[in-house]
Amino acid sequence: MLTKPLGSPLRPLVRLAGYPCVAGLYVLLMLGVVYGFRASRYDLQKIHAMPERSIVFDRNGEEIGRIHGEKRDVIQLSQVSDTFRKAILAREDERFYQHGAVDPIGIVRAFTKNLSGKKEGASTLTQQLASDVFRLKEGESKNFINQLDRKFLEIAIGIRIESTMQKDEILEAYLNSINWGRQIRGIEEASRVYFEKHASQLSLSESALLAGIVRGPDAYNPFKSIEKAKRERDTTLDRMVAANAITQAEADAAKAEKIEVRPEWRRKFQESYAMDAIRHDLELILEKENLELGGLTISTTIDNRIQQRAEKALDERLREVEQMGGYNHLTRTAWLKKPEDKRDPEPGYIQGAAVVMENHGGAVLAVVGGRDADESRFNRAQRAQRQIGSIFKPFVYLAAFDRGLRPTTSISDDPISPGEIAGAPSTWHPKNSDGTYTGMHEAAYGLIRSRNTMSLRVGNYAGMERVKDVARSAGFLDRDPAKSMPEKPTSYLGAWESTPWKVASAYTIFPNNGERYRPYLIREIRDRDGNVLYATPQLSYPAAKAGSAWAISQILREVASRGTAAAVKKLGFDKPCAGKTGTTNDFKDAWFAGYTSSLTCTVWVGFDTPVKTMQGGYGATLALPVWVKIMQTADRLGYKAGEFSPASKTITARLCRQSGKRATAGCEEAGTAYADHDVPADTFDPNDLCPIHPAKAIPVDEDAVPDSAVPRARPVLQPSARDAPPRAVPVDEPRAPIRAQPVEE
């Protein structure tokens, strides 16, 4: 009789053990579904589009900065030295080419070492890449559950990466994403920062050191601890020997090499005021995501040679000022000697700013917003609203010239009478800075010597609305009411605020014969594939009559030769130039705005909180020397200071010295008629006769006057208080001699 065989005594045990196995498989399946779904929400294209720093170049192709994105240069795997590839694999994932997203052998090895008290991770390069690209560790708490959750997500994303990318592609992406501390990303940037060479040029010792840093970018950084960096280098070399990547002799030779990293290094231009201005413009031009992705090539108008010279010239001059007698403020040297925790957030020493622009086109060559961008990030060149003082006077005269006033028109330098200036209170008694009054002079003299009383009369003749129109056309005024020009007579003397940037741009209308170009810093932007994303067009418009601008420019040349800026030649600049000094009440602000035939440059000096700089702190004393040093350098570099080109066709006309209008027979009888051989045709109206000496007009040689200016028959103009120049008197009255004046504003 057949009997049923007895079952194995292990069968119940196997059956019993199967339940947890099934349960475990179910758990793994559920984990796979959950984390697979979460992993699917991550865009793997981000691996190929790593944020990298956009490179900024000056006009000569010199790299001057890197912005946005990260400090990273994305390179191909073939551009990485073979020794570094071996070093990083030996240190981080020796079996990289033998496993998938997970390395079971590596997990067992790490588990065993951790049990023995040695700490070792089991993350593969693919998992590290997933964690780094998608920032999986950011905001993670230290509790076990959160860390386990992140590890499962790393594995799930790693599986997706392994299924879509080749091993070499993964390694290339990893090498471009590694964090070496101090915001340094990628092997190329790390090679340049630590050893000042390309990744393809790394030696065995250098490769091992960089591979060792990866484990702890801050702890093992050679800038912080050479000993710790050396220990990690040697450990990496030992691992390379164990992996048969190098011989023991090669490792010993590399260990014997002295670690020589370049001095701890920052790109100084990274914190420059020029870079600050460039960033500001980029944020206006491009969308935020384009900037954050980086990889852009940004060509600018900056000439780094002039930028550096301007920065140095400003600080050198202010160091000299700090040593002058009468300077009673904190010096920069004293501020730097203070412990960092004792320093004010904004340094209290004397500051300055400078802006250099090309006359034709509006390209900005230099922007200096202070003495040191590390010590103060406030860009005074673009953001400091400071009282502009006498440097606004040329625009007041420009408005009057547009209305018909001539440089040769006689204007009184006597004290202002109550009620004489429209809108002024009767108690207002403005003075010249030297306290003197010198009688009648040609209008040009008032600008050359910066006479306040004459400038007020010229402004009163032009009228507030006309002066505001000129200020608006020159680029001084914007839509912000708080930054507008007050409708008060003090505005004729510059008792209102603007920035060095706007002043420089406004002054370009004089060498440009009335044309104003919009200033710009960004020439062109290209993406990482070389496609042009943006190119700046040159935009211009007529801001003033060409003849009037030319007349002002001729006067400003006199300012630089015998006026308040006459020291320009003594300081060493003997080329044709023009400009205007400016000093505000109680020496709180010192300015010089000047130009050559090529460039316009504005310099401001003062304190962030307006206080008296020093007695005698005129624009010619504090700001002009900086301007001279900048322009000397610019001229040597090819921005030549040649002769100025006339505005347009000029004609010879007979004018009245008293009114500045076309002379009549009455002017001849009064002895005020004279021949002006340099009258811009576009400012000459042959029908605009002298209102002070009404009589028949003196015939004009029509061959010397353009057809549009030939006089037409019209009634003789009668004298009018509105049309008459301010306080004109017969020229046969005694005139005060034009005597030398002190440098004044």
User: In Å, what is the CA distance from 727 to each residue of 67, 458, 464, 465, 555?
Assistant: 59, 10, 18, 21, 22
Neighbours of 27 (CB within 10 A): 11
Q: What is the predicted pLDDT for the residue at 39?
A: 79
Specify the DSSP element, H or E, that contains 313. Answer: helix 304-322
Q: Which residue has the tokens 């037409």?
A: 712
Domains of the chain by residue range: 76-265
Lowest mean pLDDT among 116-130, 164-178, 335-349, 467-481: 116-130
Neighbours of 638 (CB within 10 A): 8
pLDDT classification of 482: cutoffs 50, 70, 90 = low
What type of residue sits at position 725? P
DSSP string, 173-208: HHHHH-B-STTBBSHHHHHHHHHSS-GGG--HHHHH
Q: What is the predicted pLDDT for the residue at 506?
A: 98
Tokens of 180: 């070496």
Specify the DSSP element, H or E, that contains 24. Answer: helix 11-40
Q: Give yes or no for residue 728 having a pLDDT over 50.
A: no
The percent of residues above 90 in pLDDT, for the chain, comes to 58
CA distance 43 to 385: 47
| Three-state secondary-structure class, residue 353 | strand
Q: What is the predicted pLDDT for the residue at 10?
A: 52
Lowest mean pLDDT among 527-536, 544-553, 673-682, 716-725: 716-725
Q: Give yes or no for residue 298 having a pLDDT over 50.
A: yes
pLDDT classification of 302: cutoffs 50, 70, 90 = very high
* Mean pLDDT value across residues 414-422: 94
pLDDT classification of 19: cutoffs 50, 70, 90 = low
Query: Considering only CA atoms, which of 607, 612, 609, 606 is closest in space to residue 585?
Result: 612
Rg (CA), the chain: 37
pLDDT classification of 641: cutoffs 50, 70, 90 = very high
Per-chain mean pLDDT for the chain: 85
Tokens of 187: 């092997």
Q: Give yes or no for residue 201 having a pLDDT over 90.
A: yes
Q: What is the predicted pLDDT for the residue at 510?
A: 97
Q: What is the predicted pLDDT for the residue at 17?
A: 56
Specify the DSSP element, H or E, that contains 278. Answer: helix 273-285
Q: Which CATH class is domain 76-265?
A: mainly alpha
Q: What is the predicted pLDDT for the residue at 671?
A: 84
**Any idea of the CA torsion for 314, 305, 558, 614, to the nearest 10 degrees?**
0
Q: What is the predicted pLDDT for the residue at 741?
A: 34
CA distance 537 to 461: 38
User: In Å, what is the CA distance from 49 to each residue of 52, 80, 193?
Assistant: 9, 19, 23
* Mean pLDDT value across residues 726-735: 33
Q: Look up residue 294 and give its DSSP letter.
A: B
Query: Considering only CA atoms, which of 628, 550, 641 is closest in space to residue 596?
Result: 641
Q: Which residue has the tokens 């592609």?
A: 169
Q: Give yes or no for residue 416 having a pLDDT over 90.
A: yes
* Mean pLDDT value across residues 44-52: 80
Query: Considering only CA atoms, which of 173, 184, 211, 254 is closest in space to residue 89?
Result: 211
pLDDT classification of 117: cutoffs 50, 70, 90 = low
* Mean pLDDT value across residues 39-60: 86
Q: What is the predicted pLDDT for the residue at 119?
A: 58
Q: What is the predicted pLDDT for the residue at 69?
A: 63
The percent of residues above 70 in pLDDT, for the chain, comes to 84
CA distance 248 to 267: 39
CA distance 208 to 483: 59
pTM for this model (two decimals): 0.74
CA distance 23 to 242: 40
Tokens of 110: 């790490």
pLDDT classification of 84: cutoffs 50, 70, 90 = very high
pLDDT classification of 5: cutoffs 50, 70, 90 = low
Could you tell me if 199 and 79 are in contact, meaning their C-beta atoms sit under 8 angstroms apart? yes
Tokens of 260: 């020589």
pLDDT classification of 144: cutoffs 50, 70, 90 = confident
CA distance 473 to 515: 10
pLDDT classification of 578: cutoffs 50, 70, 90 = very high
CA distance 355 to 504: 6
Q: Give yes or no for residue 312 having a pLDDT over 80.
A: yes
Q: What is the predicted pLDDT for the residue at 121?
A: 61
204-213 helix and 226-242 helix, angle to the nearest 10 degrees: 110
Mention every residue, 6+ apart, whose C-beta is less than 8 A from residue 253. 204
Q: Tens digits of per-residue pLDDT, 602-618?
A: 999 999 999 999 999 99
Q: Tens digits of per-residue pLDDT, 367-408?
A: 999 999 989 989 999 999 999 999 999 999 999 999 989 898
* CB-count exposure of residue 6 (10 Å: 0-12, 13-18, 19+): exposed
CA distance 240 to 449: 79
Q: Any bridge partners for residue 355, and if so which?
A: 367, 602
Strands 497-498 and 386-387: antiparallel
Max Cα-Cα span within the chain: 161
Q: What is the predicted pLDDT for the residue at 344?
A: 83
Q: Look up residue 529 and give its DSSP letter.
A: T
Q: Which residue has the tokens 């947890």?
A: 20
* Choice between 34 and 481, residue whose per-residue pLDDT is larger: 34
CA distance 737 to 684: 29
* Choice between 745 and 331, residue whose per-residue pLDDT is larger: 331
* Choice between 655 and 572, residue whose per-residue pLDDT is larger: 572
CA distance 167 to 532: 33
Q: What is the predicted pLDDT for the residue at 699?
A: 54
Strands 54-57 and 63-67: antiparallel
Q: Would you give the distance in Å from CA 410 to the centre of its chain?
A: 44
Q: What is the predicted pLDDT for the residue at 26?
A: 64
